Amino acid sequence: MFESSKWITSEKDYGSAPRVYFRDLNIIKPLRKAVLHITAGGIYNVYVGNDKAGDVVFTPGWTVYDKHHMYQSYDITDLVAESDFLYVSVGSGWYAGRIKRSLPQKQFPCDFGIIAQIDLEYAGGLRETIVSDESWTVGTGNILESDIYDGEVYDANIKPTFEDAVKILDESKTQLTPQIGEYVVEHDIFEPKKIFTTPKGETVVDFGVNLTGYPFFEGLQARMGERVDLSFGEILDKDGNFYNDNYRTAKCQFTYICRDGEQSYKPHHTFYGFRYVRINEFPEGADPSILRAVDVYSDIERTGYFECGNEEVNQLFKNTIRGQKDNFLDIPTDCPQRDERLGWTGDAQVFCKTAMYNFNVNGFFNKWIYDMTLEQYENGGIPDMIPNAFGGVSSAWADSVCIIPWTMYQMYGNVDILKLAVPAMKKWVGYMRSFTDNEFAYVQDRSYGDWLGLDATEGSYDGKTDKSFLSDAFYAYSCSILAKAMAIIGEDNSEYLELYDNIVKEFKVRFADYTETQTACVIQLHFGLCDDRRAVTEKLVKLIRDNDTALTTGFVGTPYLLHALSENGEVELAYDLLLRREYPSWLYPVTVGATTIWEHWDGMKPDGSMWSDDMNSFNHYAYGAVCDWMYGVICGINPRNGKDEAGFRVFDIAPVPDKRLGYAKAELDTAYGRIVSEWKYEKDKFVYSFEIPEGTTAYVTVDGKTEILSAGKYTR
Ligand code: BGC
């Protein structure tokens, strides 16, 4: 592919305005087939005549461009039959925009450039190829400014010409590979739920949920020079006013300069995270209720469903689904609104199991983990975010290289991802090992720790749990995963089994009495790093009860908190935490109307005050990781790890009910069919029903009794 094509770009610097490349096709009809292969150093849209090729957006996605730059292929036969020219609009996107940050190795050479090949096949069988070269021309279109963080400014009055000569770039093509993973597409359309005037007198449209995508309008009547100018926010402040100081430097512009007459508009190369839209300017006499919003995310298929007798828990579950959609836009992002939107590894790691119950994200994570292996440093460190935007290596974040592929294996039976990741896992464990003084212990001086734990000192992001404790614990955990993964792909893992034993031995010596924080207890229990489980459990219970039955855990401890309790006989307390409505808790944001998961437990406190604007997203999925406890414990659907078991060919069903929920039901679509696990009370008696799909076997544990069952519908 692209043998004769050349990377082309513009000679002139047009600032952040998208470059538009133009080519007459001069097709000798009749044509049998026309296929376009293309990619860009930015985000591109292709148009043949006035029609967009493909219904995908944000191509070519965000990858490690210097090593893995995807191209896309479009069948444009029908479009070419109607029109004879083609143009490509390229916005700065992830390749050339502000988001790429400042790592030296990230100065890519083809900013705003494209490379293309069009394969034509005529009716008589004759073939011809059109490639990107000097025969194309370039210019700018109606978009004056475009950036993922800063939004778009569009002038409908410009009559664009694309007549400048292109500049040929002599750049590498070896990194160009076909698309893998899911495409990003537009999904649902949202109408305004409410349009209101705030106490400050501003007009605000409420779209009802915090979504990622963009607003658009059709059929707007306006006069030349009038504007549609919008600002975006996720939440209202305590007085009910529009608020978006938490977007930091992301300008998120939406400025449309009208021409005369009726017009429609949808932004092209940018996205916004928002629930509320403030109308800064709108054409005279026009009604903002014509605004619509569309959400945009990777085309992943929904697989998991959960509901129970508690409406607030159901809303928490829905908020997690919403947050996943909002942050699965080609890569798993921390948040979709402020000047980050980065593939933070820790966030994806803590959320990955929930993500894999909710949706089929096998292809999505395949692509991202591949990029992770490409971004791994020579010394084995894994950068904080993939693609790497500004470096760093931190325990629990970098351990995603072990945890995510292993979870993909468990949930999807994906052995290939283990084959891909095991060399990177070895390098990562080797990196940690290189810091040890005696083969056993490890002291880490740079880690985010239990990020955003509530036991942090006032104003700090770092939870109280000792950072070297966490590094050691994750070192052990990753080493155990590596050993298991090697066994699955048939490699001799004895070295790592021994290393694991040594790490654990040393860990127990150094941290035997370290039960100072909830997270410290949770990690020891869930990772199996303590001898006296009862004592550590009792300490954890005490820490929670002494804290008014409330959690203090941050990013690292929270995903395992309920598991650590329910695995150690404290089911009732686990439910107490899940069902707690007062701040701090999972349900507190629900009680104040949240539609997504907040970054901080104290993003907005009961008195209406907010955590500093500096780091306060209302759409961070990490704490939504609690949903894997809903599927896996409340309804008890769990994968098994054996070589022929993973991917739910053989699985467990072991529900752990609590009367307070009334009933609970989880459904999971697997490669074999749908698993259903449902329980309810009938006059104080638990009634369980299960469905086991064809070709699978389930170990069903009810009231402490285990049965091995094959496909069918059962009641117990
Ligand atoms: C991100 C996080 C991330 C963290 C690392 C933040 O800026 O939004 O979610 O994991 O940095 O500590």
* Long-range contact pairs involving 571-579 (C-beta distance under 8 Å, separation at least 24): 571/656, 571/658, 572/658, 573/541, 573/544, 573/545, 573/549, 574/629, 574/633, 575/658, 575/660, 575/661, 576/549, 577/544, 577/549, 577/550, 577/551, 578/313, 578/626, 578/629, 579/310, 579/313, 579/660
Q: How confident is the model at residue 29 (pLDDT cuts 50, 70, 90)?
A: confident
Say whether pLDDT at 444 is over 80.
no
Closest CA to 217 of 157, 265, 286: 265
Closest CA to 440 of 404, 476, 467, 413: 476
> Closest residue (by CA) to atom 12 of ligand 1?
448
Residue 255: per-residue pLDDT: 98
Q: How confident is the model at residue 161 (pLDDT cuts 50, 70, 90)?
A: confident
Tell me the β-bridge partners of 10.
Answer: 166
> Closest residue (by CA) to atom 9 of ligand 1?
334
For the stretch 285-320, pLDDT in tens is 999 999 999 999 999 999 999 999 999 999 999 999
104: preceding bond cis by omega (within 30 degrees): no
Ligand 1 pocket residue status of 559, Cβ below 6 Å: no
Cβ density class 184-199: b for 16+ within 10 Å, e for less: bebeeebebeeeeebe
Output DSSP code: residue 104: G
Q: State in words which class domain 7-141+162-179 has.
A: mainly beta
Return the amino acid letter for 400.
S
Say whether pLDDT at 56 is over 90.
yes
For a substitution probing ligand 1, which of 338, 340, 394 has the most ligand atoms within 8 Å of its CB?
340
> Closest residue (by CA) to atom 4 of ligand 1?
344
For a substitution probing ligand 1, which of 248, 334, 448, 618 has the most ligand atoms within 8 Å of its CB?
334
Distance CA 631, CA 675 (A): 11
For a substitution probing ligand 1, which of 347, 349, 462 has the most ligand atoms within 8 Å of its CB?
347
DSSP letters for 220-270: EEE-TT-EEEEEEESEE-TTS-EE-GGGTT---EEEEE--SEEEEE--SS-
The label of the residue with tokens 């730059």 reads 69
For the stretch 370-385, pLDDT in tens is 999 999 999 999 999 9
Say whether pLDDT at 103 is over 80.
no
Ligand 1 pocket residue status of 450, Cβ below 6 Å: no
Ligand 1 pocket residue status of 346, Cβ below 6 Å: yes
Mean pLDDT for the stretch of residues 256-266: 98
Which residue numbers are catalytic? 340, 599
Least confident interval from 46-50, 194-198, 608-612, 617-621: 608-612
Q: What residue ranges do the domains of the chain occupy?
A: 7-141+162-179, 342-579, 644-715
Phi and psi at 478, nearest 5°, equal -65, -35
Please tell me the distance between residue 448's alpha carbon and the centre of ligand 1 in angstroms. 9
Please tell me the distance between residue 389's alpha carbon and the centre of ligand 1 in angstroms. 13
Please tell me the distance between residue 342's alpha carbon and the centre of ligand 1 in angstroms. 9
CATH topology of domain 342-579: Glycosyltransferase (1.50.10)
Ligand 1 pocket residue status of 344, Cβ below 6 Å: yes
Nearest ligand 1 atom, CA 347? 10
Mean pLDDT for the stretch of residues 415-419: 98
Q: How confident is the model at residue 507 (pLDDT cuts 50, 70, 90)?
A: very high
Ligand 1 pocket residue status of 247, Cβ below 6 Å: no
Whether the CB-CB separation of 489 and 543 falls below 8 Å is answered with no
Distance CA 679, CA 692 (A): 15
Distance CA 282, CA 243 (A): 20
CATH topology of domain 644-715: Maltose phosphorylase, domain 3 (2.60.420)
Nearest ligand 1 atom, CA 461? 12
Residue 325: per-residue pLDDT: 98
What is the Cα Rg of the chain in Å? 27
Ligand 1 pocket residue status of 451, Cβ below 6 Å: yes
Mean pLDDT for the stretch of residues 175-189: 97
Return the amino acid letter for 68.
H
Say whether pLDDT at 445 is over 80.
no
The label of the residue with tokens 């610097």 reads 13
Say whether pLDDT at 14 is over 80.
yes
The label of the residue with tokens 């955590």 reads 611
> Closest residue (by CA) to atom 2 of ligand 1?
334
Q: Going by C-beta distance under 8 Å and a sequence separation of 6 or more, which residues neighbour residue 348?
A: 332, 355, 368, 400, 404
Residue 214 CB neighbours (<10 A):
25
